[in-house]
Amino acid sequence: MAEQLAPPQPGGRWVENRPSRGFRAIDLREMWAYRELALSLALRDLKVRYKQAAFGVAWAILQPLVGAAVFTFVFARMADISSGTIPYVLFAFVGTTVWAFHSSAVTSGTESLVENSLLVTKIYYPKLVSPLASCLTPLVDLGISLVVLAVLLPIYGVNPGVEVLALPVAIALLFLVSFSFALWFSALNVRYRDVRYVVRFGIQIWLFISPVAYPLQLVSQPWRTLYVVNPMVGVLDLMRWSLVDGPAPGWGTLGSLLVALVVLLTGLAYFQRTESRFADVI
């Protein structure tokens, strides 16, 4: 019977547990074997969110709409910020949609291990699954927002060109950035519970130093060059270029990718190094 199952550890193979030294490589085969757990956890978080919510999925549609409306009122009407050739509502809608994903993925990713401490202390699984699952859940909201955007585009007379084919790349970069930070913060939060508070208001500050409500062109030099270290700049540029006919992304996007990769690799290293002690210190 055991042979018929597709077990995480193939039947008959010896699995060792010994003290780890230094950095270990990520066991990609094991991560693949646990993909269903990541999906199940993501699905759980999604289901739980909409249980006993009378309007259910309507909230996922309403949130970015309200966000974009507020931004339009405050920034376009009162502060008179120009978004170039793009209608400001669409500009802000893409911004809030991207930010909703990022904020949700990073904050829930930060909590992913601590919130599931019973899982961490009672079950063996590659712990990377936890922050990964937390970043999968908000993908659904992102998808719903994109559908809403598809309705908004013709209303505002914007026809996305072939750039829309770059959308998967833009989403992949967004996911990469959010996951990389979630990785760092989730592992740090196991050790230092201060991290959750830092992340909560850090995300707020990050929102204002990212071109979510305003275009990067409004930022004066030398600050604009400094913005390259903020990986969300590249994500937002890429998203707006692919969806609402924004200006073509420049070298800054490549800079964002590089920063994201650095955060990802250091995050993986820190995570792998501390993972073996999660169950002891959580």
Partner 1 sequence: MPNAIEVVNVSKRYRIGAKAPNSIREAITGRLAWRTPADPEREVWSLRDVSFNVEAGEVVGVIGRNGAGKSTLLKVLSRITEPTTGVTRTRGRVASLLEVGTGFHAELTGRENVYLNGAILGLTRREIGDRFDAIVEFSGVGRYIDTPIKRYSSGMYLRLAFAVAAHVEPDVLIVDEVLAVGDAEFQRKCLAGMGAVGAQGRTVLLVSHDLDAIARLCPRSLWFDGGVLRLDGDTQDVIDAYLQSTRDGGGEQLEVEDARGRVLLHAVRTVDPSGQSTNILRRDRPFDVEVDISVRERIPGLDIALFLVNQRGARVFDEVWSDVAPTRAEAPGRYVASITVPPLLNAGDYAIGVWIGQGYEEILSAEAATNFTLEGSSKGRPDRIVELLLPWQCRPVDDDAQHQQPAASHQHRR
77 binds partner 1 (CB under 8 A): no
Q: Does residue 19 have a cis peptide bond before it, meaning omega lies within 30 degrees of 0? A: no
**Token couple for 114:** 């601590």
CA-wise closest residue to 227 among 218, 219, 236, 235: 219
Q: Which residue is listed with tokens 């992102």?
A: 142
52 binds partner 1 (CB under 8 A): yes
Q: State which residue, 65 or 115, has the beta carbon closest to partner 1.
A: 115
57 binds partner 1 (CB under 8 A): no
Binding part of the chain for partner 1, among 12-20, 80-88, 169-177, 252-260 by CB under 8 A, reads: 12-20
Residue in 106, 119, 212, 236 binding partner 1, rule: CB under 8 A: 119
Residue in 74, 85, 194, 254 binding partner 1, rule: CB under 8 A: 194
**Token couple for 282:** 């959580």
Report the alpha-carbon angle 70-76-82, nearest 5: 140
116 binds partner 1 (CB under 8 A): yes
- Shortest Å distance, C-beta 144 to partner 1: 21
CA torsion through residues 264, 269, 275, 281, sign: negative
221 binds partner 1 (CB under 8 A): no
13 binds partner 1 (CB under 8 A): yes
Residue 55 CA to residue 65 CA, distance in Å, equals 15
Residue in 54, 78, 80, 122 binding partner 1, rule: CB under 8 A: 122
Binding part of the chain for partner 1, among 41-49, 89-97, 103-111, 178-186 by CB under 8 A, reads: 41-49
| Cβ atoms of residues 91 and 213 within 8 Å | no
R_g over Cα of the chain = 21
54 binds partner 1 (CB under 8 A): no
Residue 186 CA to residue 93 CA, distance in Å, equals 29
Q: State which residue, 7 or 143, has the beta carbon closest to partner 1.
A: 7
Residue in 23, 27, 32, 36 binding partner 1, rule: CB under 8 A: 36
20 binds partner 1 (CB under 8 A): yes
Residue 112 CA to residue 133 CA, distance in Å, equals 8
Residue 94 CA to residue 183 CA, distance in Å, equals 25
| Cβ atoms of residues 179 and 264 within 8 Å | yes
Binding part of the chain for partner 1, among 43-51, 90-98, 202-210, 217-225 by CB under 8 A, reads: 43-51
Residue in 125, 203, 261, 274 binding partner 1, rule: CB under 8 A: 125
160 binds partner 1 (CB under 8 A): no
The size of the interface with partner 1 (CB under 8 A), counted in residues, is: 47
Q: What is the DSSP letter of 4?
A: T
Q: Could you tell me where the DSSP H helices lie in 81-166? A: 88-115, 117-122, 129-155
Which residues sit at the interface with partner 1, rule CB under 8 A? 1-2, 5-9, 11-20, 36-37, 39-41, 43-44, 47-48, 51-52, 116, 118-125, 191-195, 276-277, 279-281
